């Protein structure tokens, strides 16, 4: 496993990925991008994994692109830049479409592409001292590869205000615009993250994955196709072994077997 990130999995099926470049604020380079993409594909296929936690080592979560990596791109042609950007876009796409719930434990500053990682997490918890920013325009660049995922989270209005200015903002504002879901004090981050993990583990593993797929598909359908799809989905899961176990547990006033 690459030393650029640390991977751990516990007996509950909780996989934790810790970005491990604290000396440069866990910034991206091509090796980190490809390594994370490969790992998320593997986690999708690992039936022992119930959810994924993404966090960082040190004071920052992720400061975006590694400056040394950016130096290597200065003289790239447009086509070389296009291919390079595809790798980064593929990372965000892969995490966003991970079948398992992804919890972002944002331990510090998230800037540029680091905010992209925040946007593709299903649930995001951070502390009150963390800072965020889509700072690309201050370098004469664009938050292009992260834009589909960020706009889906915060909407067009907030994207206009933040993409165009590059303004950095605090955790409280990140919560207000929907980029993060919970803000706690720094000393509470570990405890409150564990509480969130335990909440997610109450869900049936298959039902959690099906719910994530449901959200994506509902947004792509309309009219009678949408009604047909949603009714078929609930009918299928009601007769599944997990659905049967959940309903019987409720009727018998006991906990289902996945808890």
142-198 pLDDT, tens per residue? Answer: 999 999 999 999 999 999 999 999 999 999 999 999 999 999 999 999 999 999 999
Return the number of other C-beta atoms located less than 10 Å from residue 71's C-beta: 9
Nearest to 53 by CA among 110, 115, 119, 8: 8
β 5-9/14-19 pair status: antiparallel
Q: Are 36 and 42 in contact (CB under 8 A)?
A: no
Give helix 30-45 / helix 78-96 axis angle, nearest 10°.
30
pLDDT of residue 168: 96
Residue 2 has pLDDT above 80, yes or no: no
Strands 131-133 and 168-170 come out as antiparallel
Q: Is 3 exposed, middle or buried (0-12, 13-18, 19+ CB in 10 A)?
A: exposed
pLDDT band at 251 (very low <50, low <70, confident <90, very high): confident
Q: What is the mean pLDDT of residues 5-17?
A: 96
Tell me what pLDDT residue 1 has.
Answer: 45
pLDDT value of position 256: 87
**Cβ atoms of 125 and 103 closer than 8 Å:** yes
Give pLDDT tens digits for 127-136: 999 999 999 9
Confidence at residue 249, expressed as pLDDT on a 0 to 100 scale: 86
Residue 73 has pLDDT above 80, yes or no: no
Over residues 84-91, mean pLDDT: 90
In whole angstroms, how far apart are CA 67 and each of 28, 59, 74, 137? 9, 18, 11, 16
pLDDT band (50, 70, 90) for residue 113: very high
Global pTM? 0.91
Residues 236, 220 contacting (CB under 8 angstroms): no
């Amino acid at each position: 496993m690459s030393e650029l990130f640390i991977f751990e999995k516990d007996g509950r099926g909780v996989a934790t990925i810790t970005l491990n470049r604290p000396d440069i604020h866990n910034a991206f380079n091509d090796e980190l991008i490809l390594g994370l993409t490969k790992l998320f594909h593997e986690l999708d296929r690992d039936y022992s994994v119930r959810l994924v936690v993404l966090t960082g080592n040190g004071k920052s979560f992720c400061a975006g692109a590694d400056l040394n990596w950016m130096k290597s791109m200065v003289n790239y042609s447009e086509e070389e830049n296009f291919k390079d950007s595809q790798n980064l876009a593929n990372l965000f796409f892969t995490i966003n479409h991970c079948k398992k719930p992804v919890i972002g434990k944002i331990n510090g500053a998230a800037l540029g592409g680091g905010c992209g990682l925040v946007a593709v997490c299903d649930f995001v918890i951070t502390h009150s001292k963390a800072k965020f920013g889509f700072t690309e325009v201050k370098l004469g660049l664009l938050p292009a590869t992260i834009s589909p995922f960020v706009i889906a989270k915060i909407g067009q209005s907030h994207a206009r205000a933040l993409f165009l200015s590059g303004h950095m903002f605090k955790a409280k504002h990140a919560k207000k615009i929907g980029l993060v879901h919970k803000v706690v004090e720094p000393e509470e981050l570990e405890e409150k993250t564990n509480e969130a993990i335990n909440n997610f583990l109450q869900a049936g593993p298959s039902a959690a994955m099906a719910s994530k797929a449901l959200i994506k598909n509902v947004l792509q359908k309309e009219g009678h196709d949408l009604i047909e799809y949603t009714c078929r989905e609930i009918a299928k899961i009601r007769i599944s072994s997990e659905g049967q176990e959940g309903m019987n547990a409720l009727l018998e006033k006991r906990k289902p077997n996945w808890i």
